[in-house]
């Protein structure tokens, strides 16, 4: 039985960001993907110049109404990422709620893009919308440490803090939380980054249990655009295939990320030449070239269970 995803994300003509970072890998893994472009730009904003259009909340509503009128609005997943507009975000929430009424088993995967490294890079008025409206209807969220702290009002300085923050996020709604990156000290050395995940399960008798994992991933000295979109899409895919095994889902997801990033950085350095820092065009994700790794990633990052 086919699995259908509604992806509401940004779109670029050149490169892999938003819907292009999500759609290809999901399709490779057998998902049917319907894409709504929240923005349509010539390229991502890490370039010196970009041109394009931004979809308004009313325009999003018109597109969704068209899907509804044809009675093709049955989805198994909704996937969303970066947006800068509160009314657009509120319209997304309305759509998710309506789709959940039609299919109570629908899973909403949300990357709550607010900022990083202590500062917001979206307007401040998006924060209460994410906290009070978006996160409560989400089933899977992928914040970084800054976003997790912002949404819960609690700082993370230890693994115990991170577990408490993930529990607070669970209490807000989502059953699966993955903190994609943190400032926690890695056990494998300072060339690694610590990520953590938590998933609530309901046992057959109705009682609840929580699986928590820690994963350390190698750092890369480069700035990539579109990796957060790819991560959320891969977590969607691998939690679908391993719905009660967060450890395996995270290992698959982070291993895909590793392979795509390593292939991208190798190619970028080759293009840039010795001693030169790669440019944004050279650092566009090598997605098509990573098709085999997306389909069946060799596991290079192992998750450990934590209490």
Active site residues: 229
Q: Is beta strand 119-120 parallel, antiparallel or unpaired with respect to 107-110?
A: unpaired
DSSP-assigned states of every residue in 62-122: HHHHHHHHTT----SEEEE-----HHHHHHHHHHHHHHHHH-TT-EEEE----EETTEESS
Alpha carbons 25 and 2: distance in angstroms, whole number: 16
In this structure, the chain runs to a length of 307
User: Which of 134, 69, 45, 291 minimizes the C-alpha distance to 147?
Assistant: 134
User: Using an 8 Å Cβ cutoff, are 260 and 222 in contact?
Assistant: no
Q: Cβ atoms within 10 A of the Cβ of 105, count?
A: 7
Alpha carbons 190 and 188: distance in angstroms, whole number: 7
């Amino acid at each position: 039985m086919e699995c259908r995803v509604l992806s509401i994300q940004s779109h670029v003509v050149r490169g892999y960001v938003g819907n292009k970072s999500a759609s290809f890998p999901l399709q490779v893994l057998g998902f049917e993907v319907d894409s709504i472009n929240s923005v349509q730009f010539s390229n991502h904003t890490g370039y010196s110049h970009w041109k394009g259009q931004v979809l308004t909340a009313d325009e999003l509503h018109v597109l969704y109404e068209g899907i509804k009128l044809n009675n093709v609005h049955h989805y198994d997943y909704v996937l969303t990422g970066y947006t800068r507009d509160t009314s657009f975000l509120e319209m997304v929430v309305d759509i998710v709620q309506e789709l959940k009424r039609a299919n109570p088993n629908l899973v909403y995967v949300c990357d709550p893009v607010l900022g990083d490294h202590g500062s917001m890079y979206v307007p401040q008025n998006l924060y209460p919308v994410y906290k009070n409206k978006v996160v409560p209807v989400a089933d899977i969220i992928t914040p970084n440490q800054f976003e997790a702290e912002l949404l819960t009002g609690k700082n993370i300085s230890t693994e115990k803090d991170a577990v408490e923050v993930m529990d607070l996020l669970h209490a807000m709604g989502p059953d699966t939380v993955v903190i994609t990156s943190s400032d926690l000290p890695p056990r494998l050395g300072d060339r690694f980054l610590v990520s953590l995940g938590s998933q609530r399960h309901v046992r057959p008798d109705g009682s609840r249990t929580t699986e928590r994992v820690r994963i350390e991933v190698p750092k890369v000295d480069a700035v990539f655009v579109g990796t957060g979109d790819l991560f959320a899409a891969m977590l969607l895919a691998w939690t679908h295939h391993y719905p009660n095994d967060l450890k395996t889902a995270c290992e698959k997801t982070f291993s895909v990320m590793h392979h795509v990033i390593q292939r991208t950085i190798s190619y970028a350095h080759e293009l840039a030449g010795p001693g030169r820092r790669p440019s944004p065009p050279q650092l566009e994700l090598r997605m098509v070239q990573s098709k085999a790794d997306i389909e069946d990633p060799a596991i290079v990052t192992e998750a450990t269970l934590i209490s």
